[in-house]
Chain A
Amino acid sequence: MGEDGSSTGLQTWIVEKNSTLLIEGSSNINQFACDVRKYLHCDTLTFATDAKVKRLHFQCRTVHIDVSEIDCHHKFITADLRRTLRHQQYPFMKIHFVSLDDPFAIRVGQPLNGIVEIELAGIIRRVEMSFIVKSQAGRLFHLSGSKNLVFSDFNLEPPKKLAGLIRINEDLKVTVQLFFRKIG
């Protein structure tokens, strides 16, 4: 609903299965990149468009990412990272969309801003996230967004070995490639 009460009806996007998540980080030994290529959930986002400011306000708003599908292409770091993210207790990383500039109101390649809540290991942090519309074709469109995070934002301790002399650094860059299909 817009501030002046102007809004279109509720619209719905389905998150397509080819959506992906990339987590880039480093240790004091080298760099690593972890991805989730199997997006097995069929999340649906529902929102109202504030026509005046061309902004979407989400009501059904959560994208679920299965933490046990995180693959760092290094079996030990994969296991350590999943353990750090407490995947058995919190199997999903969740991205809750709060609001987003209307991607259909701008051209492909242009940036748009969104507010999302990232939920990791049971801790939720609200952040501003910048997205780019990578493509639009009919009812399908592709958003790419990234955000720099630190483990401590989520009260997490990065993995360490040898009494901390071998360690994963605090900083992470999280990039999501979200493919949506408009259904209403």
Chain B
Amino acid sequence: MKKVFVAGFTAGSVLLVLSWGVIFLMVKFFPGLADQYWSDKFRQAGSSTDWMFYAHPFVLSFALKWFWERYKDIFKGSNILKAFEIALVYGIVAMVPVLWLTYSNIDISLAMVLSWLVYGIFQAFIAGIIFSWLNP
């Protein structure tokens, strides 16, 4: 149990820092994409749900940790390859269907949806590297 918490919190903390970095890079290099977040489809900051934004890396890392512990034996190769594989599985199984549904019902751009897909896969890849390093 202890190793689950250590790995989950380690991955969550790294992903939290990365999420700030990714938003910083988006503002700097993709201002058109960042501009779309002014849409009233997104909540104003300062609302009671702000904490959920900061908690999301931990939700993701604990979910992926559960998945990792259950299926890590089927991933073969180096740590990088294992991390890449878990990221791809997460992207295809978890993200594509949800984002498909999101795009079909919410008026957001395809670029935004694709950026979430890439970002999600990237997050899972980082979490995968941490898990394969801490709990191979």
Contact = CB atoms under 8 A, between A and B. Distances in A.
Interface residues of A, number: 20
A30 B35 contact: yes
Given A157-B46, A161-B45, A163-B45, A29 B53 contact: no
Contact of A162 (B31, B35, B40, B42): B42
A27 B27 CA distance: 10
Given A76-B40, A79-B40, A80-B40, A163 B31 contact: no
B44 interface: yes
Interface in B34-60: 34-40, 42-46, 50, 53-54
A163 B50 contact: yes
Pick from A30, A157, A162 the residue with the most CB of B within 10 Å: A162
B100 interface: no
Interface string B55-73: 0000000000000000000
Interface string A59-100: 000000000000000101101100100000000000000000
Interface in B53-98: 53-54
Contacts of B53: 162-163
A162 B44 contact: no
B5 interface: no
Contacts of B37: 161-162, 166
Pick from A74, A77, A166 the residue with the most CB of B within 10 Å: A166
A159 interface: yes
B31 A159 contact: no
A28 B45 contact: no
A29 B45 contact: no
Nearest to B49: A163
B119 interface: no
A166 B26 CA distance: 10
A163 B40 CA distance: 14
B133 interface: no
Contacts of A165: 20, 23-24, 45
Nearest to A28: B27
Contacts of A80: 38, 40, 44
A31 to B, nearest CB: 11
A14 to B, nearest CB: 38
A83 B46 CA distance: 14
Given A76-B38, A165-B24, A166-B27, 10 more contacts: A28-B27, A77-B38, A79-B40, A161-B38, A162-B45, A163-B54, A164-B46, A165-B23, A166-B37, A166-B38
Give 9 closest A-B pairs by Cβ, nearest first: A76-B38, A160-B45, A163-B53, A164-B45, A161-B37, A163-B50, A165-B23, A29-B34, A29-B31
Interface of B: 20, 23-24, 27, 31, 34-40, 42-46, 50, 53-54
11 contacts: A29-B27, A29-B31, A76-B38, A80-B44, A159-B38, A160-B44, A161-B44, A162-B45, A163-B45, A163-B54, A164-B46
